[in-house]
Structure 1
Amino acid sequence: MAADGFIRQQFVQRLYVEHHGWLNGWLRRHLQCSQRAADLAQDTFVRVLTREPQNLSAIREPRAYLHTIAKGLLINHWRRRQIEQAYLDALALQPEPLATSPEEQALIVETLLQIDAMLDRLPHKVRRAFLMSQLQGMTYAAIAAELEVSERMVKKYMAQAMLHCLMLLDDDA
């Protein structure tokens, strides 16, 4: 077992030495920020370190493997920035007494990210029905017409979305 750990450590070390510069450069070109690129490159190698040992031995194209991990981290980074910016834009429209502390803002952004991840796991029509109902205030009949489904189907979509919301609340408890 100790020999496996040593072999694994050497593999990851070699992967890091041989490909870190390339990965960091790739991320820097996409982010236009050397510090954030360095952070995401490190996060990529942390992900590699946490993979199952048998998965590492199957790597035939190290750059493609690292690219796949880094691209997922990059997408998460952009999604988080988009959600944070939308929240900050909405917050800027609020009167001064309603402004929140930085701690409250961080908690709100984290909650918004959880909601976004939950909505992302919903099937497309379920997500659309839920958002039309909750954000646009549309009736089930209007949603049904928009999605070209029956009102009964919209009710099923809403029930499915609500169940996911409850599961999110249950996870926080």
Structure 2
Amino acid sequence: MPPSDASIHLVRTLYSEHQPWLLDMLRRKLGNVENAADLAQDTFARILSSNEAGPLREPRAYLTTVASRIAAQYFRRLALERTYLDAIAHLPEATSPSPETRMLVLEALTAVSRVLGGLKPQVREIFLMAQLDGLTYPQIAAQLGLSLNVVQKAMGKAYLHCYHAVYGE
């Protein structure tokens, strides 16, 4: 859905009045102007795509919130990338993935991380124990001191969340 005229006007106003301030705030947070510029642009793009239209009482607080969320995603991606690159650094050169494969894997890891990040911590822990550790629901319940019913409901929530993340319904 294309942005409304009101949304375009809001972003234009926010950009002209607050972009230098936002860029400086992000530069201080990130320590580098290039990444700050990228995240500032992402902030305005996110606001534009959200179709936010009304006037804002506290535009800098709003920009800070949106930019902080984008920065958190950026730092999560950096951490994932570092972990992945550390893991493959020990592989023999002949079996090391190509740069293209590395980028595809990083994109997939980022997408999985984003989906899992949308789960409540206990639901995420239960889901990962079942999916990665291969534990049964009774084993998870015993290990976490929960009832079997709580584990089953948490898994249902996790599966539903994943379904919506993949199929957008």
Q: TM-score, normalised by structure 1?
A: 0.77
RMSD: 2.9
Residue 89 of structure 1 is matched in structure 2 by 86
Letter of the structure 1 residue corresponding to residue 70 of structure 2? L
**Aligned partners of 1:51, 1:37: CA distance in 2, in Å?**
21
The one-letter code sitting in structure 1 at the alignment partner of 2:83 is A
The 2-side partners of 1:166 and 1:48 are apart by: 26
| Preserved CA contact (<8 Å) 1:125 1:147 | no
Report if the CA contact (8 A) 2:10-2:55 is conserved. Answer: no
Q: How does 1:56-71 map to 2 (within 5 A)?
A: 56-71=53-68
Which AA in structure 2 matches 1:85? R
**Unaligned residue ranges in structure 1 (runs of 5+):** none
Give the percent of matched residue pairs that are identical in Structure 1 and Structure 2: 43
Counterpart check, 1:113 vs 2:123: no
* Matches of 1:47 and 1:161, distance apart in 2: 26
Q: Does 1:131 align with 2:149?
A: no
Q: 2-side partners of 1:155 and 1:10: how far apart?
A: 47
Q: Hey, which of these two has a bigger chunk of helix by percent?
A: 1
Q: Distance in 2 between matches of 1:58 and 1:50?
A: 16
1:98 equivalent to 2:79? Answer no
Secondary structure in 2 aligned to 1:122?
coil
Q: 1:93 to 1:130 in 2, by over 3 A?
A: farther
Contact 1:119–1:127 (CA<8 Å) still a contact in 2? yes
Number of positions where the alignment pairs a residue of Structure 1 with one of Structure 2:
165
Check whether the contact 1:91–1:99 (CA below 8 A) recurs between aligned residues: yes
Mapped pair 1:21 → 2:20: yes
The C-alpha deviation readout for 1:50-93, integer Å capped at 9, x for no partner, is: 343xx433312221121111111111111111111111111113
Q: Distance in 2 between matches of 1:129 and 1:51?
A: 32
**Native 8 Å contact 1:133 1:143 kept in 2:** yes
In the TM superposition, residue 13 of structure 1 has moved relative to its aligned partner by: 3.4
Q: Which runs of 5+ in 2 are unaligned?
A: none
Q: Which structure has the higher relative contact order (CA within 8 Å, separation 6+)?
A: 2
Which of structures 1 and 2 has the bigger CA Rg? 1
Range with bigger deviation, 13-22 or 31-40:
13-22
